[in-house]
Structure 1
Amino acid sequence: MFDTYEYTCVERFLRYVQIDTKSDPQSSTSPSTEKQRNLSKVLVEELIAMGVEDAYVDEFGYVYATIQSNTDKKVPVVCFCSHVDTAPDCSGTNVKPILHKNYDGKDIVLPDDATQVLSVNDCKYLAEHAGDSIITASGATLLGADDKAGVAEIMDFANFLMTHPEVKHGAIRILFTPDEEIGKGTAKLDMSKLAADFGYTLDGGELGTLEDETFSADAAVITVHGVIAHPGYAKNTLVNALKIAGEILAALPKDEFSPETTEKRQGFVHPVRVDGLAEKATIEFIVRDFTRDGLQANAARLRSIAEQVLKQHPKARMEFNVTEQYRNMKEIIEQHPQVVDFAEEAYRRSNVGVRKQSIRGGTDGSRLNFMGLPCPNLFTGMQAIHSKKEWIGVRDMKKAVEVMVNLVQVWAEKS
């Protein structure tokens, strides 16, 4: 049935990435940027045009929609979720997507910045797409495949089901969230509105990857209180909080304990923001590990490093605060093995090899699992995310649509 289907995910993706939806970690509003609604409104209009009549965007920028069941069987309600925002790490304004048809397998120099080169030596997965089509940005911005690829694929999946009523499935909920990139993707989510039993985020990478484990994550903030004085009369009085903050950063290990020195199942501590004046300075960190014990140990080690620095400045004082961000989804998914088993079956039916792996990060699913929705993460094809070298393969996008169609059929058959 896929041989004659005219996929819409690529055309949708090329349009969606041109809508600036960058989120803002310093904002206190929900969504953090009003421009995220611009894409959400487009998605609602397109869903309604397909015949998904109940699609709407709420006051916080969440899109909810339902594809009604077309079977008499009692099938759990399954949700598919992606986020509309792009990362604040790199510009998402005036994105100019480029479709490289029949990619020749060579390095690609992006036209708006010749220093931005997609190299097959740096990315072996790129070479695997020789002969197929890929999409990049122009070199001046990120592409936005994270996660507009997932959005476009879910929209194409919805289009497929609405135009192929012979495909039997239970009720399907569609959810598009704002602010995932700043850790607030589920902050204003109404689970009673969502009303789903199981879910899948479309926010993964290479074809065939199936992610059922994430980091556990906390945020840590060190606040240094110095002693302020007029700099002309500051001898033996002034204690500069900014300098102490710098000493804390300098005291962090150079060859471990950081994102740039860890891999696989190693956790880390990562400073992400410094702010302040001579009197008071703050350092914001993200703390990551796959286990709760490891997470606590990393935070304790960070605190100990800071305390050692403060001992050299007895007139200064420090506050150390840790807040929970999300926990490893595997703790919940292990209690509901069918949510992964059915996904693996859908991959096989789509002739996609399954590679289960852990995410050195998190998704909306990290929180959704602990909000009552068992929710692993499916591939989209996105690569080099959060950078000007971001790209995605058309082949992978179409396969993601196929997997979702097969997945809802598996749920219907096995219920």
Structure 2
Amino acid sequence: MATGYSYTVTERFLRYAQVDTQSDPHSNSFPSTHKQKDLSSILAAELKAMGIEDAMMDEYGYVYATIPATISKPVPVICFCSHVDTAPDCSGTGVKPILHESYDGRDIALPDDPEQIIRVATYPYLKTHIGQPVITASGTTLLGADDKSGVAIIMDLAHYLLTHPEIKHGTIKLLFTPDEEVGQGTAKLDLSKLGASVAYTLDGGELGSFEDETFSADGVRITVQGVIAHPGYAKNKLVNALKIAGEILAALPKNEWAPEVTEKREGFVHPVGINGIAEKATIEFIVRDFDTAKLAVYENRLKQMAIAVLGQYPGATMEFEVTEQYRNMKEILDLHPHISAYAAEAYRRAGVDMIKEPIRGGTDGSRLSFMGLPCPNIFTGMQAIHSKHEWIGVRDMEKAVDVLTQLVQVWEERS
């Protein structure tokens, strides 16, 4: 970064965090909540105010913008992407971000609910921020660092590049997406409008993390059809679908195969919803593993468990549906190793040690990669996401801005 540059990332993040953009997995609209457009429209206006003439929000809430090249030689068009929505897991209404100017190393009790305590024992990464500013929520909501920190980082990058035209770089595209948290972040994306050949999401965790591998993911729905009868006259007639669904859940292993007992490169099968009546009941599952081929193995095992349960209930039937959700982006990124190599060089120049690790989840980058836009993930600093304990260090966000600034220059130099 140029000597004396005043980062804008913290001020931006504190403002963006206060805009309620929570998405809704049960909505049939796109975006799933109209309020996501509140932040998207702010971002488009701020980009226009910076001088980006083509900055715009489309009808679906996507924000597209172009930072023009400062050199004439051909350079691949890079896109930086973050999502504006926050997770449905925890309230995003009335977020009050708190800037703790110099973190003292102790547990942090959140003022609006003192029983909400961010404990060092639980989040030891806090120790690396002693004496530095950190940002938390107030105790009744999530913070929204996932992914408004990424949004703020990209916006600060835009500000820096536009005020420092001496930096050599090719054409850069900026993209802000809705509904990532409900798995629809790329559903209405117009890649031709974007016009990039490679992308990086800003949606990662601690300083130095870099992710070019995600879970592969499927969804499974088991629909149990029972046999209904009047309960007063149900003997030898009624077959209760709710009870069958309960037994299927009870048949799942308790010491393996579940997210609460797996880690690192272990996959899982996870029930996420159940609904129904005595006549008909539905169980929703998510199935995850880094090895795509294992998904079919897990799904067959789950199906055999369900069939075994139904065998005890003559007259009951079952539908077993599998839906592909996303795939491990490593399958694509391994075909383009320079994308990660250029990022590694940018980390080095920014004085950041790269920590490569797989994501036990997915990002917009998973889908983008399989849509033809290879897209690994860069850190923002976000911690304890989707919870009232969510927090982020200012240092990490500023370092991410540094990395992006170096990255655009590496692409220019290597082209």
TM class by shorter-chain length?
over 0.9
Report the equivalent of 2:296.
296
Residues 172-231 of structure 1, C-alpha deviations (whole Å, 9 max, x = no match): 000000110111100111111111010000000000011010000001101011111111
* Residue type at the aligned position of 1:221: R
Report the equivalent of 1:401.
401
Report the equivalent of 2:61.
61
Report the equivalent of 2:346.
346
* Residue type at the aligned position of 2:221: V
- Equivalent position SS for 1:359: coil
Report the equivalent of 2:15.
15
Residues 20-65 of structure 1, C-alpha deviations (whole Å, 9 max, x = no match): 1111111111101111000000000000000111011111111111
Q: Within 1, Cα distance between the matches of 2:301 and 2:142?
A: 35
Tell me if structure 2 keeps the 8 A contact 1:211–1:359.
yes
- Equivalent position SS for 1:19: coil
Report the equivalent of 1:257.
257
Residues 64-93 of structure 1, C-alpha deviations (whole Å, 9 max, x = no match): 110011101100000000000111011111
- Equivalent position SS for 2:60: coil
**Structure 1 segments unaligned to the other structure (5+ residues):** none
Alpha-carbon offset, residue 306 of structure 1? 1.1
* Residue type at the aligned position of 2:109: V
Report the equivalent of 2:6.
6
* Residue type at the aligned position of 1:82: S
Q: How many residues align?
A: 415
Q: Within 1, Cα distance between the matches of 2:112 and 2:243?
A: 39
Q: Within 1, Cα distance between the matches of 2:17 and 2:247?
A: 41
Alpha-carbon offset, residue 2 of structure 1? 4.0
Report the equivalent of 2:233.
233
Q: Within 2, Cα distance between the matches of 1:2 and 1:269?
A: 49
Q: Within 2, Cα distance between the matches of 1:65 and 1:243?
A: 53
- Pairwise mapping of residues 386-397 of structure 1 onto structure 2 (< 5 A)? 386-397=386-397
Report the equivalent of 1:320.
320
Alpha-carbon offset, residue 3 of structure 1? 3.7
Report the equivalent of 1:243.
243
Report the equivalent of 1:186.
186
Q: Give runs of ≥4 in structure 1 deviating > 6 Å.
A: none
* Residue type at the aligned position of 1:273: G
* Residue type at the aligned position of 2:151: V
**Structure 2 segments unaligned to the other structure (5+ residues):** none
- Equivalent position SS for 1:213: coil
Q: Within 1, Cα distance between the matches of 2:106 and 2:2?
A: 30
- Pairwise mapping of residues 205-216 of structure 1 onto structure 2 (< 5 A)? 205-216=205-216
Q: Within 1, Cα distance between the matches of 2:410 and 2:6?
A: 23
Q: Within 2, Cα distance between the matches of 1:49 and 1:280?
A: 55
| Matching of residue 376 in structure 1 with residue 376 in structure 2 | yes
Tell me if structure 2 keeps the 8 A contact 1:100–1:133.
yes
Once the two structures are aligned, what percentage of the paired residues are identical?
A: 68
Report the equivalent of 1:93.
93
Q: Within 1, Cα distance between the matches of 2:224 and 2:378?
A: 42
Residues 130-171 of structure 1, C-alpha deviations (whole Å, 9 max, x = no match): 010000001111100000010010001101011010111000
* Residue type at the aligned position of 2:195: A
Report the equivalent of 1:155.
155
| Matching of residue 125 in structure 1 with residue 87 in structure 2 | no
Q: Within 2, Cα distance between the matches of 1:3 and 1:277?
A: 66
Report the equivalent of 1:308.
308
* Residue type at the aligned position of 1:149: S
Q: Within 1, Cα distance between the matches of 2:192 and 2:178?
A: 18
RMSD value, Cα: 0.8
Report the equivalent of 2:35.
35
Tell me if structure 2 keeps the 8 A contact 1:2–1:402.
no
Report the equivalent of 1:24.
24
Alpha-carbon offset, residue 250 of structure 1? 1.1
* Residue type at the aligned position of 1:292: T
Report the equivalent of 1:278.
278
Residues 263-297 of structure 1, C-alpha deviations (whole Å, 9 max, x = no match): 00000011111111111111111100001111111
Q: Within 2, Cα distance between the matches of 1:232 and 1:409?
A: 76
Report the equivalent of 1:143.
143
Report the equivalent of 1:134.
134
- Equivalent position SS for 1:274: strand
- Equivalent position SS for 1:53: coil
- Scaled by the length of structure 1, the TM-score of the pair is 0.99
Report the equivalent of 2:169.
169
Alpha-carbon offset, residue 115 of structure 1? 2.0
- Scaled by the length of structure 2, the TM-score of the pair is 0.99
Tell me if structure 2 keeps the 8 A contact 1:365–1:375.
yes
Residues 330-353 of structure 1, C-alpha deviations (whole Å, 9 max, x = no match): 000011111100000000000000
Tell me if structure 2 keeps the 8 A contact 1:20–1:93.
yes
- Equivalent position SS for 1:358: coil
- Equivalent position SS for 1:157: helix
- Equivalent position SS for 1:99: strand
* Residue type at the aligned position of 1:184: Q
Q: Within 2, Cα distance between the matches of 1:314 and 1:257?
A: 29
* Residue type at the aligned position of 1:183: G
